[in-house]
Amino acid sequence: MGAPRRKVLMLHGHSQNANMFRSRTAHIRKACPDIEFVYLNAPHILWPTDLQPARSSVGEARENETVSYESDTDSAPRAWWHITEMRTKCPGIEEGLRAVRDVLENNEFEGVFGFSQGASMAATVSAILERPYLYPEFTRNGAAIHPPLRFCVAVSGFVPPCAIGDVIFGASYTTPSLHILGRNDVVIREEDTIPLLKKSASQAVEYHIGGACLPLLLTIIVADRL
């Protein structure tokens, strides 16, 4: 019997879902056959009134496909938290963190990979697992529900613009992190990511020339580091 496969938790972007993210990262899975990629659906289903045109990760769903609303909720666009006009709050982020906590509590993951809002969630969870006392829902009987992750891959990530983000990123976190930024990203601009980079004490940064997307180059970068 062979050794158990390494597990990586995959967190999709705003207005995506687990199935969509699985499709978009098929080339990464193919390049890393020894890894089990676990795709998680965010808890908040988005309806047409939630998807207003704006400079936000809502644009992710409009870049390559049309948002569809079917009776099967697995096909609906989702979010880890709702986006507000002023972007100074993250309504529903507690439910987003709870969804990640529940899967961490019952599995052993080596790392986490997130895109846009999912990248923000990935970095936040990485930081929480280093200091779970900052967010007690990630503890059971005073102990962390999961050991610190060995790595985090954040594509177009940022610090959550709310009080929880302020608390979790009040100090630097040390989880080895690969940050990937698009030089022509008008959804999550480089300046949006800089506050996260300043808090990432053990980091590598790679750039691609595209926007808010998962370029084929990402396969080479990620596969080489995984």
User: Is the Cβ–Cβ distance between 160 and 90 less than 8 Å?
Assistant: yes
Number of domains comprising the chain: 1
Domain presence at residue 69: no
Residue 137 identity = E
| pLDDT tens-place string over residues 125-164 | 999 999 999 999 999 988 999 999 999 999 999 999 999 9
Q: Is residue 80 domain-resident?
A: yes
Q: Which of 130, 128, 121 is nearest to 160 (CA)?
A: 121
> What value, to the nearest 5°, has the Cα angle with vertex 97 and ends 27 and 173?
80
Phi, psi of 117 (to 5 degrees): -60, -35
The predicted-structure confidence for 156-181, as pLDDT tens digits, reads as follows 999 999 999 999 999 999 999 999 98
* CATH number for position 120: 3.40.50.1820
| Cβ–Cβ under 8 Å, residues 107 and 38 | yes
Q: Which amino acid is it at 211?
A: G
Is residue 112 domain-resident?
Answer: yes
- Number of Cβ atoms within 10 Å of the Cβ of 196: 24
pTM, two decimals, is: 0.85
